[in-house]
């Protein structure tokens, strides 16, 4: 009898041991899931920052197919498409993101940015109008300023640009945009001041230097500004100034500036040579 009592106890022991093993397997599975989440998060960050943009697009496209309801993956795909300079493809991805529960006001601002890059200014304006006024970021106001510019709403544009400048520690780009806005309005003195401010913030910003020369040329001031510039930049700015002088009708001054640009450039300056030849050809004809 004692023998038959031992057998059920053995079965009970085996069942308990099996239960322990099963619980242990579940713990291990959960641990691996946690590791996978951490690894995926790190990989997503890498793809969004240092990876080749087109490789990131491929990665996030595959991830979105597997998990279409995850806002973070839709966001990653849209951002990667913008980095890859494919805004037209990013727009429908942002539209999908907007329909998800995890979409944020920042996503809506990024959506407006993609629409502007894709050339849909009207829809970008409507999208920005849906962002609550309490959501105040540099990017939001920079885009608001650009939209106001496109509508020729100058007072609104100036107000938005001013706000945007106050919300960033690196305002050179937005100062350059604001200056270009003033340039298109014919407010050359204010434009020149804003380009000067942009260069003071970032003296490597050649676009602002070139725009400043355009503003000076429009005022028939054909002297290069006193700003940091390399020899190549100096030649390029002289070329711009020469073309500006010709546009103003000061042809001889323009020819002299083009020749100076050719002489200044440390290599052969084909663009300036072509401009000078075209000018001489027109004069002789």
pLDDT digits (tens, 9 = 90+) for 74-126: 999 999 999 999 999 999 999 999 999 999 999 999 999 999 999 999 999 99
Domains of the chain, residue spans: 45-115, 136-221, 230-285
Q: What is the 3-state secondary structure (H, E, C) of 153-219?
A: CHHHHHHHHHHHHCCCCCCHHHHHHHHHHHHHHCCHHHHHHHHHHHHHHCCCCHHHHHHHHHHHHHC
How far apart, in whole angstroms, are the C-alpha atoms of residue 151 and residue 64? Answer: 36
Helix (H) / strand (E) element for 140: namely helix 138-150
* Size of the chain in residues: 285
Instruction: Compute mean pLDDT per 10 residues along the chain, 285 residues long, and list them.
Output: 44 43 48 46 76 90 94 95 96 97 96 97 97 96 97 97 96 97 96 97 97 96 95 97 95 95 95 90 63
How far apart, in whole angstroms, are the C-alpha atoms of residue 208 and residue 59? Answer: 37
What backbone phi and psi angles, to 5 degrees, belong to 80? -65, -40
Give the pLDDT of residue 43: 77
How far apart, in whole angstroms, are the C-alpha atoms of residue 15 and residue 20? Answer: 9
* Cα angle value 206/208/213 (rounded, 5°): 95
**How is residue 126 written in tokens?**
């409507």
pLDDT averaged over every residue in the chain: 87
Give the pLDDT of residue 17: 39
Please provide the CATH number assigned to the domain covering 136-221.
Answer: 1.25.40.10
Give the pLDDT of residue 206: 97
Report whether 115 contacts 127 (CB < 8 A): yes
Helix (H) / strand (E) element for 138: namely helix 138-150
- Helix (H/G/I), strand (E/B), else coil: 135: coil
Give the pLDDT of residue 25: 52
What backbone phi and psi angles, to 5 degrees, belong to 68? -65, -15
Reply yes or no on domain 45-115 having CATH 1.25.40.10. Answer: yes
């Amino acid at each position: 009898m004692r023998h038959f009592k031992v057998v059920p106890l053995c079965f009970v022991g085996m069942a308990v041991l099996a239960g322990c093993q099963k619980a242990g397997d579940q713990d291990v599975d959960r641990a691996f899931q946690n590791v996978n989440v951490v690894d995926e998060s790190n990989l997503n960050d890498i793809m969004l920052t240092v990876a080749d943009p087109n490789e990131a697009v491929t990665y996030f496209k595959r991830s979105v197919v597997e998990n279409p309801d995850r806002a973070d993956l839709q966001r990653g795909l849209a951002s990667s498409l913008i980095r890859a300079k494919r805004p037209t493809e990013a727009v429908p991805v942002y539209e999908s993101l907007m329909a998800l529960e995890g979409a944020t006001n920042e996503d809506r601002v990024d959506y407006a940015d993609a629409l502007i890059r894709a050339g849909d200014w009207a829809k970008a304006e409507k999208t920005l109008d849906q962002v609550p006024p309490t959501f105040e970021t540099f990017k939001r106001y920079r885009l608001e300023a650009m939209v106001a510019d496109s509508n020729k709403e100058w007072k609104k544009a100036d107000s938005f640009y001013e706000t945007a400048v106050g919300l960033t520690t690196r305002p050179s780009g937005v100062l350059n945009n604001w200056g270009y806005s003033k340039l298109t309005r014919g407010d050359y003195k204010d434009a020149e001041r804003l380009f000067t401010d942009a260069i003071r913030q970032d003296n490597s910003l050649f676009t602002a230097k070139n725009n400043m020369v355009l503003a000076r040329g429009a005022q028939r001031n054909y002297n290069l500004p006193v700003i940091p510039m390399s020899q190549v930049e100096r030649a390029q700015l002289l070329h711009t100034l020469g073309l500006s002088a010709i546009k103003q009708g000061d042809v001889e001054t323009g020819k002299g500036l083009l020749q100076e640009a050719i002489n200044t450039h440390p290599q052969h300056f084909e663009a300036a040579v072509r401009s000078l030849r075209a000018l001489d050809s027109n004069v002789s004809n």
